[in-house]
Structure 1
Amino acid sequence: MLQKIGQLVGVAALAGVLVAALALPAVGGVGITARNVATNFLNMPSELETPPPPQRSVIYDNDGDVIAEIYDKNRELVELDSMAPVMQDAIVAMEDSSFYEHGGIDISGTFRAALRTLSGDTEGGSSITQQYVKNVLVESATSQAEQEEARETSIARKVRELRYALSIEQRMSKKEILEGYLNIAYFGDGAYGVESAAKHFFDKSASDLSLEEAATLAGTVRYPYLYNPDANPDAATNRRNVVLDRMAKNDMISSEKAEKAKQTELELDVTEPSNGCMPSDQPFFCDYVVQEIEKNDRFGENETERARWLRTAGLEIHTTLDGDMQQAAQDAVDEWVPRKNESKKVGAEILIEPGTGEIRAMAQSRDYGPDEGKLGQTSVNFATDASRGGSNGFQAGSTFKAFTLAAALDKGKGFSTSFDSPGRTTVNGQRNCEGGKLAPWPVKNSSESDGGQHDMISGTQGSVNTYFAQLQKDVGLCNVIKMAEKLGVHRADGQSFDNPQTQGNNSFTLGSEEVSPLTVANAYATFASGGTRCEPQAISSITDQQAGETIKIDNECERAIDKDVADGVSHLLQQTFDGGTTDGMEIGRPAAAKTGTTDGAASAWFAGFTPNLAGTVFVGDPRGPQQYPLRDVTLGGEHYNQIYGATVPGPIWRDTMEKATEELPEEDFPPAPDKFTSASADNQASPTSNEGSVPDVVGRPEEDAVTALEEAGFEANVSGTRISSSEEEGTVAAVNPDPGTGLPDGATVNVFLSDGSGDAAGGDPQPGRTPGTVPAEFPPPRGGNR
């Protein structure tokens, strides 16, 4: 009943204000404006949407611990019951003592405010409901024009607020209005809403505020800068005392209690707001999560809209990060590559769960910050691609040999596929995926590799470059590239492996392409999962508090390669711990791994996995690996003449994985598939030295045959003399030497076309010549190195 009476009184007050406006002399345009406003009042829209005000979003790890808070305004919404009653009383006493009696309009205050507004003063006189309306209009403005309209100095703005205030009072309870106001009001020093203000100034929740603290906060809202208790403690104390007197006058507290509270010192416990990724303990993962939201059109039409959603919607962003694994990775990276090392080298590590793609850790040996010139500081996330805040990538070295193994197994090659692999050799005749022939490729073993006869197992154990160069040639460069792409491998700069500028890369198997650790780790996780490739995933769900919905982020997985191929690669990479390049990096459970050291020691890598966790470590120089190689380097007090994959990246991986897998069940890898170990495995293409087998092109058109021979590394010499053959006229009748013959790269293969006179063409063979035979006088093949 009292509220209804209050609403009627409010309407009467409004009428009084409008009459006063109409009675004002028409000086300049003021009188005309006032009359227009009054005339149109009843036609004004009265329904005001009251969406939740902008609030901070919080990023959590997979245990629910806070990683970071992201916001435009530091605000945390709480219910009225979570605000101390003394805080509610203090704000009512100071801002609108008749709040519970009126219908949205303070009669005398509104009339006085209208007169003051006409003289250019928009402050004072507004009820809590009116102030709430103004804040809603300001916070919900989506354009500069709407912002200006919500803040303009005019009686039109005041009348709009009055119209909305009356409507708000009719559809919202006093408690709802007070809750909305205390959540939306600005309390100064970047704190919006009483909960954030309580935490900022007193390091406690609004539910725990004392009388003195509540009075201090209530005193700030009229002039937040002037009464900022941290910046202006004397003014804030005086203002607090005014609030206490008001509370006593309104019988909210006794005069004695007010006087006692006024005698207390202003005791602050200011906590600085933690906004953004820089204050986070996991800043680079935080940045990756932000990039994932801002770059994904699932979360908004454009990047600006997505960024605003992230910073205003009060999102609860739950991620895949494992706090213990992250700590293990960060500790290991910091120990082996200290953040402020004078050599300016950087270490980065990523951990991914096989079968889900979920990122468990993302660490690097740098502080997060914008000053790239400051030692040990960067805003570049070296663990990921350029499109997600990373770099343009680094050459990954011999970690790419695993992709060549996968391509070879996929083509039916067995573990016993062998080559004579000397310390140096030259590979000829490779072609890119466009069919372009690449220049001869001189390749040599590194100092840690032994030459000689090698098969897949020994070649992998010793990381023998000349073996893998020949295996790539045997399988086909394009097939190796396509295998890597199946595994999700791509350049960090977004360019194609087989782009027109490079026309393919002879040394692809040696990791001469620039990639990110995230890409390599995810590819190795595909081997660990038995061939199931998943998109790297950092976010598991997002709860939008404003929209009242939860977005579940499902794992995006698909079978990329045959399970036998994945298991075969896993078996081969396990052998590196048995006297191979990863010897000494054991972690006390089954593991598979590969080192990587690029040409000239530009960068060093270590990639490995257990059946349930994959990790990759990169060490290099962000200023330019080729210009600043890993030679004559001191890290953590240890001097290295040259850093290899096993000297620094390996120990980082080992130390990390030992701790990161402690809570994971120990699992064995599947046994090596029989088809790769049995005598029936296809090992026919196992020439000695730098030899290849002449392909069988009989019966193929001339152009196709020449292309096939050149792809195999040979020169094709098409004879002008056609021979009798059962093959169709113009197709290949025979080659010299015969198909399957081992020849050195660059050797000439003679090609003879059919004249169509054989049985297949309906004619008879020429006298004295067997169909399809090569003329005896034709010279033997030439060229090539044995």
Structure 2
Amino acid sequence: MLQKIGQLVGVGVIAGVLVAALALPAVGGLGITARNIATGFLNMPSELETPPPPQRSTIYDRDGNVIAEIYDQNRELVDLDDMAPVMQEAIIAIEDNRFYEHGGLDIPGTFRAALRTASGDTQGGSSLTQQYVKNVLVESATTQAEQEEARETTISRKVRELRYAVALEQRMSKDEILEGYLNIAYFGDGAYGAQSAAQHFFSVDAEELELEQAAMLAGLVRYPYLYNPDVNPDAAKKRRNVVLDAMVDNNAITQKEADEAKKTDLNLDVSSPSNGCVPSDQPFFCDYVVQEIEKSEQFGENETERARWLRTAGLEIHTTLDMDMQNAAQDAVDEWVPRDNESGKVAGEVLVEPGTGEIRAMAQSRDYGPDGDNRGETSINFTTGVNRGGSTGFQVGSTFKPITLAAALDQGKGFGTSFGGGSSTTVTGQRNCDGGRLPPWDVSNASESSGGSFDMITGTKQSANTYFAQLQADVGLCETIEMAQTLGLKRGDGTSFDNERTQANNSFTLGSEEVALIDLVSAYATFASGGTLCDPKAITSIEDQQSGETIEVENQCEQVIDEDVADGVAYLLSNTFDGGTTDGLEIGRPAAAKTGTTDGNAAASFSGFTPNLAGSVWVGDPRGPQNHPLRNVTLGGEHYSQVFGANLPGPIWQATMREAVEELPEEDLPNAPSKFGGSGSGSNASPASSDGGVPNVIGQGEAAAVRELEEAGYQVNVSSSPIRSGEPENSVAAVNPDPGSTLPEGATVNMFLSNGEGNNGN
């Protein structure tokens, strides 16, 4: 007891001497003592950094619509002029009614605070400046020790705050301090600062607060939980009325105004900004943006610093997302592969702008959530790789074949490069990138592909495995792998293709490697842009509200293949809509595309583009496509005995692209480069015969077609195996070489008849 009394007396003496030291001149012996204490006090560290407190960051789409808000503390900084005068008057009346009179140290309040501190109660008595100092010290603490020091209930902490407050008053105006305090103070229920508190409790901005609302908010800062109006409305109302009385005493309002305000109910309209990507309507793109910031060295030295920056700096993050395109993609994947389908299948789609790499849409048929055991819910972005919080990738089947086409054209091989071998063949002599010989490879065409001889055009149209297996062997497996890497492709787990496991992979051209969809669509965008590969880009700029700096994110693009090579691939893929595997999936303007189906229908894909938009779709089972194939499944009310690239991913792509390109100018695809044997006509035009060229007999009956070809000076070989085609049964489905090709007189033209069954794609 005596010790306690002594402590209280000591506190009172210290406080009194400090007040005297700061307020009175030094005279006589007592003056010397006061002066010495004052000198020691004034020699204490006084420079207090006052950085902006943590505030929420906002992610926007390309039109400025909010995608998500992310924060550690729900705070939005505003100027004092953007806070209602009654809010300012209310906080001064209840917390520091002499705020504009003292120099940071309120003498009566200091005595009161010192005594309460000794009793273990740090509340009350401190000036607004001192409270601001304490909040700054708490918010700027970066370690647990600093946090504890800023909150400790000791005389030394109180004295330190006093010193900082006195110094702060010398370099900041009263209005600046008041503004800082109203932005940093905690008002409870997760709301930091007057602006967020006004939005949270009343759904208005701070400048719109009415008297009774401002009084209620001002009453919260003393005990935010005790007076929380959403939890303890009666206590909040009583506290509000206390504030109103204080405002009358401080001549801020009249007694009549206070009495009228006391009669009102609290009239809460509680709301909070959604924090993070889970509640966003575009959660997977949101997650990609978060990953882009946290994983990129452009935005900080280490991932921890970048994550903190994202959640505290009040960033304005402007992105590439086009909401119309996003909605088109999301609607399509949800319609064809519903999120809660019983088979557990998922569809993902990415749209990218060629020539910039800007991501226009990123959708998948799943709800975003942490519990993967809930059907239809996942936190994994299946459209990207592990380096951006995604999966390890998936096989994409024959959508990989254009890589081999690019490698062949890059070596100078022409459209007329042909191989025979029937509906199956054995490829021998392939070597890996170390020069090791690979074992013989038995390869067969899918049911919708035919046998016979193919060139680049017909082989691509029919997606003939036998053709591409032989083309890869002719080009070289290692050269094909190198082309894939040139086009920005890698395994979804981030490793390159030329590792030991991949080097023994004969079937590389058939899409046996697991890749991320976003890398695949970027490769297709390279064909659409004349050979310019761009890194996928989600962020255009970031405005840092704390530093005032704006970071512009530049496009990372490079010409990686010759324009003729890219145009040649585009021409070949455009022909798939003319009796090929993408027939019937047109979008009403020039386009190029390729289907993909993996062995045993484990997964299916579709990739295509116009000159100004590229899109890729993948459908499969994230539990493991090989163990959960796309066979005998019901999706979107439709039963599929087998899913191919053209009968499920294709319609998703078609539905998306038709809507997504509506606001884009219609552009023609490039002409077929003559150096590869092209006719020079636009790829959106139907092949036509020319002098000395192969006549266009597609769609004609067998006899008439043979007669026309023979009259043109060619020998005709009619395949005995009809092929799947949209042409009428027994009419000509395809010829090899393609119509318009120039051949010497007497050369053989291979002709393939249609079985009339349409096609499912490959």
1:118, distance to aligned residue in structure 2 (A): 1.6
1:223 maps to: 223
Q: Structure 1, residues 164-189: CA drift from partner, whole Å, max 9, x if none?
A: 11111111111111111000000001
1:625 maps to: 625
1:504, distance to aligned residue in structure 2 (A): 3.4
After superposition, where does 1:650-729 map in structure 2 within 5 Å?
A: 650-677=650-677
> Aligned in 2, Cα 1:35/1:660: closer, same or farther, shift over 3 Å?
farther
Residue type of the partner of 2:165?
A
1:194 maps to: 194
1:241, distance to aligned residue in structure 2 (A): 1.0
> Aligned in 2, Cα 1:662/1:57: closer, same or farther, shift over 3 Å?
same
2:101 maps to: 101
Q: Is the 8 A contact 2:316 2:544 kept in 1?
A: yes
After superposition, where does 1:59-208 map in structure 2 within 5 Å?
A: 59-208=59-208
Residue type of the partner of 1:88?
Q
Q: Is the 8 A contact 1:202 1:270 kept in 2?
A: yes
Q: Structure 1, residues 608-629: CA drift from partner, whole Å, max 9, x if none?
A: 0000000000000000000000
Structure 1 CA distance for aligned equivalents of residues 553 and 131 of structure 2:
40
1:70, distance to aligned residue in structure 2 (A): 0.9
Q: Is the 8 A contact 1:595 1:607 kept in 2?
A: yes
Q: Is the 8 A contact 2:277 2:287 kept in 1?
A: yes
After superposition, where does 1:526-541 map in structure 2 within 5 Å?
A: 526-541=526-541
> Aligned in 2, Cα 1:109/1:679: closer, same or farther, shift over 3 Å?
closer
Q: Is the 8 A contact 2:90 2:243 kept in 1?
A: yes
After superposition, where does 1:600-619 map in structure 2 within 5 Å?
A: 600-619=600-619
Q: Is the 8 A contact 1:348 1:617 kept in 2?
A: yes
Residue type of the partner of 2:80?
L
Q: Is the 8 A contact 1:138 1:150 kept in 2?
A: yes
After superposition, where does 1:353-502 map in structure 2 within 5 Å?
A: 353-502=353-502
Structure 1 residue matching 2:437: 3-state secondary structure? coil
> Aligned in 2, Cα 1:36/1:542: closer, same or farther, shift over 3 Å?
farther
1:300, distance to aligned residue in structure 2 (A): 1.4
Q: Structure 1, residues 332-381: CA drift from partner, whole Å, max 9, x if none?
A: 11111111111110010000000001111100001110000001110000
1:578 maps to: 578
1:119, distance to aligned residue in structure 2 (A): 2.1
Structure 2 residue matching 1:452: 3-state secondary structure? coil
> Aligned in 2, Cα 1:37/1:369: closer, same or farther, shift over 3 Å?
farther
> Aligned in 2, Cα 1:417/1:59: closer, same or farther, shift over 3 Å?
same
2:636 maps to: 636
> Aligned in 2, Cα 1:13/1:651: closer, same or farther, shift over 3 Å?
farther
Structure 2 CA distance for aligned equivalents of residues 183 and 590 of structure 1:
55
Structure 2 residue matching 1:420: 3-state secondary structure? coil
Structure 2 CA distance for aligned equivalents of residues 521 and 604 of structure 1:
15
1:14, distance to aligned residue in structure 2 (A): 8.7
Q: Is the 8 A contact 1:333 1:347 kept in 2?
A: yes
1:399, distance to aligned residue in structure 2 (A): 0.5
Structure 1 CA distance for aligned equivalents of residues 110 and 364 of structure 2:
59
Structure 2 residue matching 1:595: 3-state secondary structure? strand
Deviating more after overlay: 484-493 vs 670-679: 670-679
1:396, distance to aligned residue in structure 2 (A): 0.9
1:679, distance to aligned residue in structure 2 (A): 11
1:35, distance to aligned residue in structure 2 (A): 14
Q: Structure 1, residues 685-708: CA drift from partner, whole Å, max 9, x if none?
A: xxxxxxxxxxxxxxxxxxxxxxxx
Q: How many pairs are equivalent?
A: 657
1:298 maps to: 298
Deviating more after overlay: 346-355 vs 253-262: 253-262
Structure 1 CA distance for aligned equivalents of residues 341 and 39 of structure 2:
74
Structure 2 CA distance for aligned equivalents of residues 356 and 528 of structure 1:
11
Residue type of the partner of 2:650?
G
1:345 maps to: 345
Provide the alpha-carbon RMSD of the alignment: 1.9
1:49, distance to aligned residue in structure 2 (A): 1.1
Gaps of 5+ in 2: 1-11, 22-33, 681-762
Residue type of the partner of 2:63?
D
Structure 2 CA distance for aligned equivalents of residues 159 and 401 of structure 1:
74
1:506 maps to: 506
1:648, distance to aligned residue in structure 2 (A): 1.1
Residue type of the partner of 1:498?
D
Structure 2 residue matching 1:454: 3-state secondary structure? coil
1:589, distance to aligned residue in structure 2 (A): 0.5
Structure 2 CA distance for aligned equivalents of residues 260 and 504 of structure 1:
84
Q: Structure 1, residues 39-72: CA drift from partner, whole Å, max 9, x if none?
A: 8423211111111111111111111111111111
Structure 2 CA distance for aligned equivalents of residues 69 and 421 of structure 1:
59
Structure 2 residue matching 1:383: 3-state secondary structure? strand
1:644, distance to aligned residue in structure 2 (A): 0.7
Q: Is the 8 A contact 1:37 1:159 kept in 2?
A: no
Structure 2 CA distance for aligned equivalents of residues 211 and 13 of structure 1:
41
Residue type of the partner of 2:137?
L
1:438, distance to aligned residue in structure 2 (A): 1.2
Structure 2 residue matching 1:126: 3-state secondary structure? coil
Gaps of 5+ in 1: 1-11, 22-33, 681-786
Residue type of the partner of 2:583?
D
> Aligned in 2, Cα 1:430/1:177: closer, same or farther, shift over 3 Å?
same
Q: Is the 8 A contact 2:104 2:169 kept in 1?
A: yes
Structure 1 CA distance for aligned equivalents of residues 517 and 38 of structure 2:
67
1:518 and 2:480 equivalent? no
1:38, distance to aligned residue in structure 2 (A): 7.6
Q: Is the 8 A contact 2:17 2:37 kept in 1?
A: no
Structure 1 CA distance for aligned equivalents of residues 145 and 203 of structure 2:
37
Q: Is the 8 A contact 1:13 1:107 kept in 2?
A: no
Structure 2 CA distance for aligned equivalents of residues 239 and 679 of structure 1:
85
Q: Is the 8 A contact 1:421 1:454 kept in 2?
A: no
Structure 2 CA distance for aligned equivalents of residues 630 and 486 of structure 1:
31
Larger-Rg structure: 1
1:235 maps to: 235
Deviating more after overlay: 464-473 vs 498-507: 498-507
Q: Is the 8 A contact 1:498 1:505 kept in 2?
A: no
Q: Structure 1, residues 297-348: CA drift from partner, whole Å, max 9, x if none?
A: 1211111111001111111111111111111111111111111111110010
Residue type of the partner of 2:388?
R
Q: Is the 8 A contact 1:433 1:504 kept in 2?
A: no
Structure 2 residue matching 1:605: 3-state secondary structure? strand
1:265 maps to: 265
1:595 maps to: 595
Q: Is the 8 A contact 1:17 1:110 kept in 2?
A: no
Structure 2 CA distance for aligned equivalents of residues 590 and 166 of structure 1:
72
Q: Is the 8 A contact 2:19 2:107 kept in 1?
A: no
After superposing on structure 2, the runs of 4+ consecutive aligned residues of structure 1 that deviate more than 6 Å are 12-15, 34-39
1:143, distance to aligned residue in structure 2 (A): 1.2
1:737 maps to: none
Structure 2 CA distance for aligned equivalents of residues 272 and 55 of structure 1:
14
Structure 1 CA distance for aligned equivalents of residues 139 and 566 of structure 2:
54
Q: Is the 8 A contact 1:487 1:560 kept in 2?
A: yes
Structure 2 CA distance for aligned equivalents of residues 40 and 290 of structure 1:
49
Structure 2 CA distance for aligned equivalents of residues 503 and 379 of structure 1:
33
Q: Is the 8 A contact 1:17 1:111 kept in 2?
A: no
Structure 1 CA distance for aligned equivalents of residues 525 and 387 of structure 2:
22
Structure 2 CA distance for aligned equivalents of residues 222 and 503 of structure 1:
68
1:692 maps to: none
Structure 2 CA distance for aligned equivalents of residues 14 and 354 of structure 1:
72
1:149, distance to aligned residue in structure 2 (A): 1.1
Q: Structure 1, residues 532-583: CA drift from partner, whole Å, max 9, x if none?
A: 1011111111111111111111001111100000000000000010111111
Q: Is the 8 A contact 1:445 1:451 kept in 2?
A: yes
Structure 1 CA distance for aligned equivalents of residues 131 and 76 of structure 2:
19
Residue type of the partner of 2:655?
D
Residue type of the partner of 1:314?
G
Residue type of the partner of 1:322?
D
1:332 maps to: 332
Structure 2 CA distance for aligned equivalents of residues 679 and 594 of structure 1:
22
Report % sequence identity: 74
Q: Structure 1, residues 364-422: CA drift from partner, whole Å, max 9, x if none?
A: 00111000000111000001001111101100100010000000111111111111142
